[in-house]
Structure 1
Amino acid sequence: MLFRGRSHRSLDPKGRLMLTPEIRDILLSRSQEGRLVLTTYDRCVVGYPLPDWEEFEQKFQKLKTPSLKVRNFRRLVIGGAEEMALDKQGRIRISADHMAYAGLDKDVVIIGQGSKFEIWDKARFEALMSEDSFDDVADELADSGIDFPI
């Protein structure tokens, strides 16, 4: 099961977010008690089922003498990781640090991204989507062996 689709939600005053039933079902099927990791990347908050996150961390540990750029990336992503579980209502709590990094206030958009999902500030996401024409994406996908017929 993969995360896909887009949904609009609101954070409550305590920073809690009600995930969609589809996302909750995937988390519950992929990890004990719906355990997940939230981290920061690309100016949004990114969520992974705990087993997928642990696999990612193990791959990172295999790097021999990474560059300063990779070490800084590790500081952002692994250093920003927070493990949690869904509460009884199917919510997660987004920390103040994560909210500040992603500019989250009240209205958010949850974007499925295959093995992970992203949580974006609604205005930031709409601005991102309106500024990019995606004209050159088909070529990049084709170069990677992905045919995307339109």
Structure 2
Amino acid sequence: MFLGTYEPRLDAKGRLILPAKFRDQLADGLVMTRGQERCLYVFPAAEFEQMYNELRRAPLSSKASRDYIRVMLSGASNDTPDKQGRIVIPQNLRAYAGLDRELAVIGAGARVEIWNATAWSDYLSAQEEIFSETGDEVVPGLF
């Protein structure tokens, strides 16, 4: 499980050094793709395969399903971290997420999310108030 928030920097070649706590789970390969809210999703390769198998079950007759699958898969890129734990973020994904040098890399359970640091800060500021007021209507029985 991926947890926590880290603030690494993107180097001039578009490489990111993965947080040390995430490296073992991504060492066998990963898939990076467009995420929602203009971030990037990074899945362990096996987790992405499971997610893809779920996506395949969506009916071809559903335009919303086709659109979602096209956007998610057309932006996907696979990679394996090097010995220093670095991965290359392709230019098209950097542009999609508005990534520059300052990043926020967060653990989101089964995936990692990569955000522009300012976009993450803005998002988190807006969501923290909502989070503090959220009742059991989001996850019934959680608390």
TM-score by length of 2: 0.91
Gapped regions of structure 1 (runs ≥ 5): 29-33
Shift of 1:142: 4.1
Residue in structure 1 matched with residue 8 of structure 2 by the alignment: 9
Residue in structure 2 matched with residue 67 of structure 1 by the alignment: 62
Q: Distance in 2 between matches of 1:70 and 1:64?
A: 7
Q: CA RMSD in A?
A: 1.4
Query: Do 1:110 and 1:118's aligned partners in 2 also have CA atoms closer than 8 Å?
Result: yes
Q: Deviations over 1:98-124 (max 9, x none)?
A: 001100011001110111010000000
Query: 1:70 aligns to what SS in structure 2?
Result: helix
Check 1:114–1:25 CA distance in 2 against 1; reply closer, same or farther (3 A cut).
Answer: same
Select the residue among 29, 40, 46 that pairs with 1:45: 40
Q: Which runs of 4+ in 1 moved over 4 A?
A: none
TM-score by length of 1: 0.87
Query: Do 2:4 and 2:106's aligned partners in 1 also have CA atoms closer than 8 Å?
Result: yes
Q: Identical aligned pairs, as a percentage? A: 34
Q: Deviations over 1:33-77 (max 9, x none)?
A: x30000011110110000110111111112223421221111111
